[in-house]
Amino acid sequence: MTTTQPGGAPPPGSTSSSADTGIEHFGYKPSLDRSIGKFASFAAGVSYISILTGTFQLFYFGFGTAGPAYLWSWPLVFIGQMAVALCFMELAAKYPVAGSVYNWSKLLGSRIVGWSSGWLMLTASIVTLAAVVLALQLNLPRLWSGFQIIGDGTGEYDYAGNAVILGTILIIITTVINALGVKLMAMINSAGVFIELIAAVLIAIILAANIERGPDVFFSTNGYGTGESGGYLGAFLIASLASGYVMYGFDTASSLGEETMEPRRTAPKAIFRAILASFVIGGAILVFAVMAAPDLDDPALGEQSGSLQGIVEAVMWGPLGDIFLVCIVIAVIVCSLAVHTAAIRLTFAMARDNALPFGNALARVHPKTQTPVVPAIVIGVLAVLILVININQPKIFTVLTSIAIIMIYLAYLMVTGPLLKKRLQGQWPPKDLKEDGYFTMGRWGMFVNIVAVVWGAAMALNLAWPREAVYGTPWYNTWGAFVYIGIILAAGLLWYGLKGRHHIGVLRSHASSTKE
């Protein structure tokens, strides 16, 4: 017998010693390398959100769909996602555990809810990795034409095909780094985030110093949405994908909780600082870029080949534009690294519960590097396969991005929803959070939690709505969010129903020797 059923974790409202690290409540014993400090924890959240990757990768889509005023979706998404983040901060203050979304929903809801959220989050993370690495195509060929390996970039599939090649190379790199251990990953990630933050602030300052128009440009539809269904509101809702793509993944700081020092205090602060820094710095770049663009009527601003990178190149003088493009490439690399890392921790978390096929192999921790090596390789291979399957899809950027975001929003809902139920039942927050000085929202918790649930449901529906502008044609692509996510969820639940639910339980090799 390879598993042992958990003896029953204490209810979410129960108290425990202020010295615990969170994993005791799940029946796990420590098995990962606890060496991540405060900055590295913050850097993990920032690099997943990735100010430069997100803002530069989909600016063309937002601007091309709804013009300058699409930027009003930036504060809207921030408010909604901050509500989610605040809920996660409370949970991280109590349970900073690997695969946090999976374990939280399992504890707050039920085993099937936890498994479903974990499955959606895992597949979304793999799709996200595939989507993020594609951003290299937006930057490397601008630095040197030799990076355009397929064609010259003018062919129908040159762009997507070349993006797959560059992305595959990056996935191989992130796989090797993650397999070598969390210390190396954290060191590279922290250095990359440090460079990214400095570059992002400098880009915002230089753009601000070159503004050519006032903020009134954000208070006009500028003709966008005319003649379309829903008018400008319809265009705005579509364009909100560009902002929604940036501000998620902040839970990574908690998912690395088992490898973080003082995780119950460090993880909540890291989550908050990551999303706030991304909102302020990323928003400054977007606003000042629109105000500094030489020509807002330039159609290239709404195309992948132009986009935000085109504005930066036009505004920067001499080699400065290339220097900042290099910084964007660094941001893409560390973002990919963080996404890969988070997916590995989630795989490990589910596997040690024997909640995935080949759980024993996926949950095995290398004795020397103290990191799960098999998940690093498996996730890398699956992400590359996703790229290869879509190599002849010119809309690969937006389709992969949209599906990944929706699945993550759904996974988040499987945390915030059950958490709201616990609040209504008076079972949350635990008393020890306030008593021991950990983060808690106090009397604001109920309101914020309701906002998080309503926001998550509304945004997921908005992003999933069948639109040719996002998903293209034929019908199975137009309805892609429902078709592809439905297939992914159905396939997972089929395995769960036929086999998984019969043997899920903590593997003996990871079970705590003491019972709760």
Q: What is the DSSP string of 470-499?
A: HH-SSHHHHTHHHHHHHHHHHHHHHHIIII
What pLDDT is attached to residue 20? Answer: 64
CB 47 within 8 A of CB 216: no
Model pTM score: 0.90
> CA-CA distance, 128 to 132, in Å (whole number)?
6
Q: What sign results for the dihedral spanned by CA atoms 448, 58, 196, 285? A: negative
> CA-CA distance, 104 to 422, in Å (whole number)?
12
Q: Which amino acid is at 25?
A: H
What pLDDT is attached to residue 1? Answer: 40
* Positions of the chain with pLDDT lower than 50, given as ranges: 1-18, 515-516
Beta carbons within 10 angstroms of residue 270's beta carbon: 31
Query: Partners of 511 in the beta sheet?
Result: 28
What pLDDT is attached to residue 173? Answer: 97
Query: Partners of 506 in the beta sheet?
Result: 4
Residue 420 backbone dihedrals phi, psi, to 5 degrees: -60, -40
Residue 260 backbone dihedrals phi, psi, to 5 degrees: -110, 140
Question: 111-133 and 480-495 are packed helices; what angle lies between their axes, rounded to 10 degrees?
Answer: 130
> CA-CA distance, 501 to 499, in Å (whole number)?
6
State the virtual CA torsion across 214, 217, 218, 223 in degrees, nearest 10. 180
Q: Among candidates 329, 375, 333, 336, which has minimal Cα distance to 352?
A: 375
Q: Which amino acid is at 512?
A: S
What pLDDT is attached to residue 180? Answer: 94
CB 231 within 8 A of CB 26: no
> CA-CA distance, 39 to 37, in Å (whole number)?
6
> CA-CA distance, 9 to 281, in Å (whole number)?
41
pLDDT (tens digit per residue) in 379-434:
999 999 988 887 776 666 677 778 889 999 999 999 999 999 999 999 999 999 99
State the virtual CA torsion across 298, 303, 308, 311 in degrees, nearest 10. -30
**Cα Rg of the chain (Å, integer):** 22
Q: Among candidates 270, 343, 271, which has minimal Cα distance to 98?
A: 343
What pLDDT is attached to residue 17? Answer: 42
